[in-house]
Amino acid sequence: MLHSPRCPKLGKYERAAMRAAGRFNAELMDVVRQHVRPGITTGEIDEIVHEYTIQHGHTPAPLGYQGFPKSCCTSVNDVICHGIPGDYRLQEGDIVNVDITTIVDGWHGDQSETFLIGEVSPEARAVTQCAFDALYAAIAALTPGCPVARIGEVITELAAKRGFSVVREYIGHGLGRQFHQDPSIPHVPTSKARRERLGPGVAFTVEPMINVGQRYTTLDKQDGWTVRTRDGSLSAQFEHTILMTEEGPEILTLTEHGPRPGHQF
């Protein structure tokens, strides 16, 4: 998904609005987790997301965004991101990333989790654990005014130690009134990310995509959205919306019932 207008630094009112959007999005993820199990279709997950969002007076941001046809993304096994919900029925041994974004009073909350469906392979469990740990290690390393590249440095080091690769083409992003805006948040260190800094008042996502095999990706030519690992290996992802404050990073999309730092899958 493309990046657009530059992200302004948020004042007191805007920060409160972003916190409200993050809280609802996290609440929605806790609703979703009650249903993600063997036998449900990815389309049924999308229906749950859509109905709960609309019933509460909010808007599912993905629906219609640059032509995306559904209200969330469901990325199964070798799908890295932007999987389109449909008729696929989750099976024992699958992993699935559910990525949800909500517009609440004009402001965006954005997050994703990878779910283990029943008993999974050691490889599936390990790559999911790596993506989860990479997200929280990157957040823990952030300080007010630090370079954006600190995120990529932490993630690539952790993934390399565990024998996994980090996707480069799809990245985190600034967030606010726009779904995707500056700053860009790559999950590998780049020269631009070393120059840009995360000052207080900036809201953004961290969403590492970790592959079992090589980092390379392929885009589905038919639907124009689904991104898979080129070698067919498994991929896992976790995402939070972060607000950099004067004291440090604040996670805006913490769920009540989801995994917390230190969780073992």
Q: How many domains does the chain have?
A: 1
Residue located via tokens 């939070």: 240
pLDDT given for residue 191 in this prediction: 97
- The reply to whether 172 falls in a domain is yes
Q: Which of 139, 132, 147, 146 is nearest to 97 (CA)?
A: 132
DSSP sequence for 217-239: EEE-TTTS--EEETT---EEE-B
pLDDT given for residue 7 in this prediction: 56
For residue 15, give Cα distances in angstroms to 12, 58, 59, 135, 177: 5, 18, 19, 22, 11
pLDDT given for residue 94 in this prediction: 98
- The reply to whether 257 falls in a domain is no
Q: Which residues of the chain have pLDDT under 50?
A: 1-5
Read off φ and ψ for residue 123, nearest 5 degrees.
Answer: -65, -45
Q: Crossing angle for the helix pair 149-161 and 122-140, nearest 10 degrees? A: 150
- The reply to whether 1 falls in a domain is no
The two beta strands, 165-166 and 95-104, are: unpaired
- The reply to whether 4 falls in a domain is no
- The reply to whether 169 falls in a domain is yes
Domain that holds residue 181: 12-251
- The token pair that represents 176 in the structure block: 């606010």
pLDDT given for residue 6 in this prediction: 54
Check which CATH number belongs to the domain holding 209 and give it.
3.90.230.10
- The reply to whether 215 falls in a domain is yes
For residue 90, give Cα distances in angstroms to 35, 73, 113, 144: 11, 14, 15, 41
- The reply to whether 130 falls in a domain is yes
The two beta strands, 235-237 and 209-211, are: antiparallel
**Predicted TM-score of the model (pTM):** 0.96
10 Å CB burial of residue 181 (0-12, 13-18, 19+) is buried
